[in-house]
Structure 1
Amino acid sequence: MIQAIGLTSNPRKELPPAVDDVSFEAHAGRVTALLGAPGAGKTTALGLMLELQRGRGVTYFRGRPLHRIPHPSREVGVLLGDVPGHPARTVRGHLRMLCAAAGVPGRRADEVLEAVGLVNLRDERLGILSRGMDRRLGLACALLPDPHTLVLDDPARALSVGENRWWYGMLRAHAAQGGTVLCTTADPKEAARIADRVVTLERGRVVADQDVADFSRTRLRPRVAVRSPHAARLSALLTQEARAAQRSVEVVRESGNRLCVYGTTCAYVGETAFRNGIVVHQLADETGDMGPGAGLTDREANDGAHQEAHPGADERAAPAGRAAPGAGGPSPSATRAPSPAPAPPEHATGGPQRVHATAARHHPGASADGGGSVSVPSGREAPQDTVGERTRPAAGARSRRRAGAEPGTGRVLPPPITVRPAPRPLRPLRYEIRRATGVRTGYLVAAGVLVVSAVTAVLLARAGHTPQPRLLAAWPRELPLPPAALGAGLLGALAFGDEFRHPALAADRGTVPRRLGLLAAKLLVASAAALLLAVLTVGCDAELLYLVYGREAVQVRADWLPLGAGWLGLVMGCACAGVLAAGVFRSTTAGLAVVVAVPLLVGPLVDKMTEWPSARTPVPVSERLSEETPFRWAFGGEHRLDAVLRLAAQPVGGAMALSLAVLLGAYLLTDLRNRVR
């Protein structure tokens, strides 16, 4: 069950908030539709519910706000906007990466692929999937941790009729098994077809909260659509005959040669046109939309007008749909029909309207076609036990939950996860390894670094006057960092790139999950990749120099150990700086910029600080330790400690250490701020 209370977004400048005091409930075992035109605030409301946007209000998922749930992805399955995923990643690889993030077995990926019908496309890249397959993958990602609640933002947008039917069959199957489904849509007829309850938003406020039967009765009306080159003459004839026969028929003239006739049938309009010799180009039954304010009583309409005129008032407009079935029709002040003419009173609708309302009472969610016939979405006949307003599956439905099938739809959901593994420290590490190795970006960056380093080393050796350490590292004096360090910084900055562009854990706090376990995994994987890149760079440069210039170019120096430690520390420090900077500034470009700024800006500052004169002569640490401690370091450990400290005292090393400390502190502060928010 979802309980949204007082959701209000932060206004921008002088504009009113996109969502203002929105409150509603979505019950378990039912599909709730959040209806509204584009710009009504549906997506913003979902962002506030999932704590992805800043604002006021609170949302409870089965009695707990999202930030109080230990594993949000196991409680809420989310699909917002496009499907999260790198275009070069395979379908199965993407799902296995999310399996590691959610802490479920890797075989779960194959189960959800079979449920959504993507088994044959499991080895395809995400970038080549069609719109329909892309949305199916989004549902697979949402169902992966076996969540109780599904929150989806216009899931069937721009899909074919067949894909729409499949989508809403899956949502109905999830609701029939006891889950909660909340989805947004902009089509009132679609909302009446798929949902059990419809919450209507207009300009960021709730204007109606109705069962689907009341929604269909008060907002949707059957009508006859007519196109004729003599539309004006046909309109006059229909109005004249209806007045003579004392029938409640309304004719609305729309743009061009189109008419919308309410309160009659296609047969009557066609016979009238035939008797008078009028050519008809189109004659069809439709379901008309009466606008978001349909069904409001006069008092509710006045309250809504008062609230519109005084946004800061304490009075709140009562939601529509609370009146008895025999209440009066919509008032002109509360109804905005799609045509210029005012909507007729409720008694103006003829037989088809009464048939539609009666059928809707017996079949929640039923929708009437233009001819008055009723279509009931599949899966509505599943038996349910009702207690108050909360519904739960009956015993037969609970047994089908174990089988994974929902009757009447043919939809098979993935089997439930009965035993969840306990949280392990290696879970974020497994996720990060699959994320880093699932695309070719890292391999291409490493290959580019090796090629550039080898060519640069050969050119530096040909030019001469380059010390051997810089020659093996391919580090000209004109560059602030060698290619290997820049490549390691880029790999580190890309560690958060997937979460920025394609949020893998959208239900977590923010688009980037700020958990220290995940940060440690990213730092570990980035450091290991940088270490491997540093060793390969020196090895490739040395081998190429040996082949081109002989043994003299690659002679081993006596101080190779501190030089090697300094080289590894520089490359790994750049990788860690890229990870932390990208996590703090939420940008891959900013992460790489910080890596480059360390030797250009921070390095000279540290160099000037170390050049200040001192009245005392520094004493090596090894001598002070030998004087103060009775034991001696084994295998010359004090000299190695001196070498490490001298490396840290260098301008670049000191700048790197200072930058890492500052970035780590900033990351921890942002994490603490998110936790107390």
Structure 2
Amino acid sequence: MLQAFGLTSAPRRDRPPALDDLTFEARPGQVTALLGAPGSGRTTALRLMLELEPGRGITYFRGRPLHRVAHPAREVGVLLGDVPGHPARTARGQLRMLAAAAGVSVGRADDVLEAVGLAGLGDQRIGTLSAGMDRRLGLASAILGDPHALLLDGPAEGLSPREKAWLYGMLRTHAARGGTVLYTTGDPKEAARAADRVVTLAHGRLVADQDAADFARTRLRPRVAVRTPHAARLAAVVSREARTARRSMEVVTEENGRLSVYGSSCAEIGDAAFRHGIPVHRLADETGVGAPVPDAATAATADRSGSFRAPPGSPFPGGASPGRAPLIPVRAARGPLQPLRYELRRLFGVRTTALIVASVVVVSALLSVLLARTGRAPEPDRLAAWPALLPLPPAALGAGLLGALSFGDEFRYPALAAGRGTVPRRLGLLLAKLIVSAATALSLALLVVLVDAEVLHLLYGGALTAMPRNAATLAASWAGLTVGCAWAGLLAAGVFRVTGAGVAAVLAVPVLVVPLVKKVLADPAARSAIGFPSRVRGLAWVQWPHEIDRWVLAAVRVVAQPVGAALSLSLSALICAYLFTSLRGRVRW
């Protein structure tokens, strides 16, 4: 059962709250429609239930608020708007990535694709899906964790009658298995036909909570919808003629020059407007909800002093007043339950990764051939394809771009937190991204060196591809450079929430930080690493073997290089910034 008590949105400047003191329940085994015109607060109600907006009140999902549910994706399935995700990702790839985030098996993706009728379209990309297919994929994402409750915001908007019939059939099937279904709609006829219970909102307040049969009998009324630039004049004319003819007629003035006339017809309203010379821009017969009158039997009521009294048996904390209702803070989304598998599917689910790797390999091979042709570049620069004119080699730039995309794409195409517009700052997710980006960077670095060596060997023989004496130190420097660039791009994109910031952080290392480090290291005493291992051994509690000194000295020399020192400083600053933003976000809770 879903129970909402005293939901009140945070008031905006000089405006009343979009939702004011909403209390209702959606029962298991039933489809509940949250009905209201645009601006009535129906979407705000869902966002407050899901703790996506600040406000007051509380919502129980089978007796627990959402932030106390261990696995929210297995308790509540959500569809707010379109399906979030990279448009180049396939439907199956999107669901498999979300399956890793929800902690369910990979095979569940194929099961829900078949359940929503997309079994044959699993390899189609999200950006090419029609409105109906997109809505089916959204429903598949919502039921991926086999949740008990479904919360859907306008799921039938823009669909054909056939697609609507299929959608409501799916919702009815879920409710028949004992699940709870709550969806929003602005069509009263559709709500009466497709739902078991209708909760009606108007101007942010609850006006009725009825069974669908009672709603259709007592609140659905035929009306004439009119739009005219002289709405007040036409309303006065129609009301005066109704009084003269002693007819029961009701005229409701709405916004933007609209009228709703109950108890008349298009012909009568059109004739009246013609007789008095009033232009009419729209005239149509509709079936709408009558004048909103609160249902005291089911809605929470207010006494003369304005204090809140919850319905009998309500578990609303404190017994009740919206002024004392618990605050609803905006809570960060939870990270994926299987972060490493999620990150791998995110990385290889689009063609961007393959295109970047292929571009880096081709450009590196060309630069390596050009450097070998001049005969002036040393062998390490030829293998790394690093001309003196470039601030970084293509492999380091490619690794930095892949690292920046690992966070930047999620901020641009959010997949973990639909409707939140952000990515959760969780240690598990960060570690997974660091591991995967480092492995990708090392693989790219090794691939570039092997391809460059093979190309040079084919064109110039083995004379230009001999193994250098300090190969181990060069390999460590090469690996540290590519991994450092990947991490710099990743952390900067995570801090500033945009891919461009990650790329800028990678380029800033050789362009800005390296010159500063060179000035600091200009003093010979600052660059001296002789005797460093022995000094460290004297301070350490555990005495390591003397053979380790050579490796410690090699690592110190790598870091002491201008680029290595610049990367170390940049990564340290970015890690501190990432941790600061993460802790600051948690303190706001």
Q: TM-score, normalised by structure 2?
A: 0.79
Match of 2:146 in 1: 146
Q: How many Å apart are 1:569 and its aligned residue?
A: 0.9
Match of 2:512 in 1: 601
Q: Report SS of the residue matched to 1:183.
A: strand
Q: Percent identity?
A: 59
| In structure 1, distance between residues paired with 2:259 and 2:537 | 100
Alignment of 1:95-110 (within 5 A): 95-110=95-110
1:66 aligns with 2:66: yes
Match of 1:411 in 2: none
**Per the alignment, do residues 460 and 161 of structure 1 end up closer, same or farther by CA in structure 2, a change over 3 Å counting?**
same
Q: Report SS of the residue matched to 1:32.
A: strand
**Native 8 Å contact 1:112 1:144 kept in 2:** yes
Match of 2:490 in 1: 579
**Native 8 Å contact 1:92 1:110 kept in 2:** yes
Consecutive unaligned residues in structure 2, runs of 5 or more:
227-236, 272-281, 316-335
**Per the alignment, do residues 617 and 497 of structure 1 end up closer, same or farther by CA in structure 2, a change over 3 Å counting?**
closer
Match of 2:411 in 1: 500
Alignment of 1:525-604 (within 5 A): 525-604=436-515
**Per the alignment, do residues 546 and 223 of structure 1 end up closer, same or farther by CA in structure 2, a change over 3 Å counting?**
same
**Per the alignment, do residues 576 and 284 of structure 1 end up closer, same or farther by CA in structure 2, a change over 3 Å counting?**
closer
Match of 2:324 in 1: none
Q: Which amino acid aligns with 1:586?
A: R
| In structure 1, distance between residues paired with 2:39 and 2:483 | 47
Q: How many Å apart are 1:631 and its aligned residue?
A: 7.0
Bigger drift between 123-132 and 651-660 goes to: 651-660
1:522 aligns with 2:522: no
| In structure 2, distance between residues paired with 1:610 and 1:48 | 56
Q: How many Å apart are 1:616 and its aligned residue?
A: 11
Q: Deviations over 1:477-507 (max 9, x none)?
A: 3332211111111111222344323332336
| In structure 2, distance between residues paired with 1:9 and 1:590 | 34
| In structure 2, distance between residues paired with 1:35 and 1:169 | 19
Q: Report SS of the residue matched to 1:78.
A: strand
Aligned pair partner of 1:620 in 488, 507, 531: 531
Aligned pair partner of 2:357 in 422, 427, 446: 446
| In structure 2, distance between residues paired with 1:553 and 1:524 | 34
Q: Report SS of the residue matched to 1:566.
A: helix
**Native 8 Å contact 2:208 2:293 kept in 1:** no
Match of 1:156 in 2: 156
**Native 8 Å contact 2:221 2:289 kept in 1:** yes
Match of 2:568 in 1: 657
Match of 1:83 in 2: 83
Q: Deviations over 1:206-263 (max 9, x none)?
A: 242422456545643124799xxxxxxxxx999989977x663569999xxx998744
Q: How many Å apart are 1:48 and its aligned residue?
A: 3.5
Q: How many Å apart are 1:65 and its aligned residue?
A: 2.9
Q: Deviations over 1:625-668 (max 9, x none)?
A: 6778997737x432121011111122322222233233333333
1:27 aligns with 2:26: yes
Q: Deviations over 1:555-609 (max 9, x none)?
A: 3211111111111111011112222222222222222222222333333344444
Match of 2:229 in 1: none
| In structure 1, distance between residues paired with 2:113 and 2:475 | 48
Q: Which amino acid aligns with 1:27?
A: A
| In structure 2, distance between residues paired with 1:289 and 1:632 | 82
Q: Which amino acid aligns with 1:92?
A: R
Match of 2:388 in 1: 477
| In structure 2, distance between residues paired with 1:294 and 1:672 | 47
Match of 2:340 in 1: 429
Q: Report SS of the residue matched to 2:338.
A: helix
Bigger drift between 99-108 and 494-503 goes to: 494-503
**Native 8 Å contact 1:72 1:508 kept in 2:** no
Alignment of 1:340-489 (within 5 A): 427-489=338-400
1:220 aligns with 2:220: yes
Match of 1:92 in 2: 92
1:16 aligns with 2:48: no
Consecutive unaligned residues in structure 1, runs of 5 or more:
227-235, 273-281, 307-313, 323-386, 391-424
The count of residues paired between Structure 1 and Structure 2 equals 544
**Native 8 Å contact 2:101 2:337 kept in 1:** no
Match of 1:50 in 2: 50
Match of 1:173 in 2: 173
**Native 8 Å contact 1:40 1:202 kept in 2:** yes
Q: Which amino acid aligns with 1:491?
A: L
Q: Deviations over 1:253-296 (max 9, x none)?
A: 99xxx998744799x99xx9xxxxxxxxx9997413446x4558
**Native 8 Å contact 1:577 1:594 kept in 2:** yes
Q: TM-score, normalised by structure 1?
A: 0.69
| In structure 2, distance between residues paired with 1:664 and 1:39 | 43
Bigger drift between 434-443 and 17-26 goes to: 17-26
| In structure 1, distance between residues paired with 2:537 and 2:148 | 64
